[in-house]
Amino acid sequence: MSRMPTWEEFMIPTLQVMADGTVRTRRDVRPLVADALALTDDQRQQALASGEAVHENRMGWALSFLTNVGALSRPSRGHYTITEAGRQLIELFPDGARVTDLKALADEPTSPIRPYVATVSRTPQTPQTTADSETLTPTEQVQVGVQRIYEEVAAELLIRLQGKEFGFFEDAVVRLLLKMGYGGSTGRGSVTQLSHDGGIDGVIDQDVLGLARVYVQAKRYADDNVVQRPDVQGFVGALSGKADSGVFITTSRFSEGARAYADGVPARIILVDGKRLTDLMIRFGVGVQVRETYHIVEIDEDFFA
């Protein structure tokens, strides 16, 4: 292939490499896929402005997408293996597949794959922008690209949080609230004893003496495990005699009944679902790190005045 394959064109070759059932890391997969696509030395040396190899970046997008739709799975952190759905994709699209092909397949009742979902609260979509890139300005293309990255990271954050133990999630929630400024100048917060929390998972002191506190309930739930009204009622009950406000955070979402109850009680209860949680984690830099920074420039009209 004389040109660099698009990230979509990395998908089926990646599945073909993984078809032997071996569990591999991303680092293990990279050279095998590059060989399968017969990439030239020049293609392998092509790099982005950040220094990352172009083919590795595109293969990373392919891995992420295939995992999201269930063609690959992660048996452990940083490791991938093919699923039965992935094997079926090889049979259905031996010569390659586009995202639009897989989106159409996912809509079928007997589809081997699931629809691509960026987060539990977003409308299912593909990571491809729906707008024709030729109609976008360069700045708009950058913004679309950054949004795609945020959506991928948000989805990965939920997967990671749901895969950790409860104590880890509760600690992450407390860290997030401290980074958001709760905890005052001292930045004091703690996770309660796991076996004796009485419905309270975290406490954050708003002042040095701890006279004002933020009480936290954290539920590390799977996407389909919706927080119901009794859960919120239990949290409100746990606050009785302690505070008249609290924050209830979950990796999934809240039922309408739970939201209606929270809105109707005298106590001030803030509900944070999976979408808002990951948005806040990205915004305040909890569980993520800045990989690259781009500067968009324009002519300084004052200089030429």
Task: State pLDDT tens for residues 110-127.
Answer: 999 998 865 434 333 344
Q: How confident is the model at residue 198 (pLDDT cuts 50, 70, 90)?
A: low
Tens digit of pLDDT for each residue in 7-54? 999 999 999 999 999 999 999 999 999 999 999 999 999 987 677 888
Q: What is the pLDDT of residue 130?
A: 43
Tens digit of pLDDT for each residue in 277-301? 999 999 999 999 988 888 878 778 7
Cβ-contact 202, 175 below 8 angstroms? no
Q: Flag the least confident range among 83-97, 139-153, 192-206.
A: 192-206
Domain map (residue ranges) of the chain: 1-116, 119-305
> Considering the chain, what percentage of its residues have pLDDT values greater than 70?
85
The distance from CA 246 to its chain's CA centroid, rounded to whole angstroms, is 25
Amino acid at 242: K
- Please report where in the chains the tokens 């955070």 appear, as a residue: 249
Assess whether pLDDT exceeds 70 at residue 201.
Answer: yes
Cα(11)–Cα(97) distance, integer angstroms: 7
Tens digit of pLDDT for each residue in 186-196? 656 766 654 44
What average pLDDT score do residues 130-155 get?
72
Q: Are strands 24-25 and 79-82 parallel, antiparallel or unpaired?
A: antiparallel
Other residues' Cβ atoms within 10 Å of the Cβ of residue 39: 20
Q: What is the pLDDT of residue 279?
A: 94
- Please report where in the chains the tokens 């009209």 appear, as a residue: 301
134, HSE (Cβ side, Cα atoms, 13 Å) = 0
Tens digit of pLDDT for each residue in 207-248? 776 667 889 999 999 888 999 999 999 999 988 878 878 999
> Considering the chain, what percentage of its residues have pLDDT values greater than 90?
49
Tens digit of pLDDT for each residue in 246-273? 999 999 999 999 999 999 999 899 999 9
Other residues' Cβ atoms within 10 Å of the Cβ of residue 30: 20
**Close Cβ partners of 264 (under 8 Å, ≥ 6 residues apart):** none
Cα(118)–Cα(154) distance, integer angstroms: 7
Q: What is the pLDDT of residue 222?
A: 87
Assess whether pLDDT exceeds 50 at residue 132.
Answer: no
Q: Are strands 268-272 and 245-250 parallel, antiparallel or unpaired?
A: parallel
Among candidate residues 103, 102, 203, 223, the one with its CA nearest the CA of residue 157: 223
**Close Cβ partners of 288 (under 8 Å, ≥ 6 residues apart):** 153, 157, 281, 282
- Please report where in the chains the tokens 């401290």 appear, as a residue: 178
Amino acid at 87: R
| CATH number at 1-116 | 1.10.10.10
Assess whether pLDDT exceeds 50 at residue 161.
Answer: yes
Q: Coil, strand, or helix at residue 254? A: strand
Mean pLDDT taken over the chain: 85
Top CATH class of 119-305 equals alpha beta
Maximum Cα–Cα distance across the chain: 71
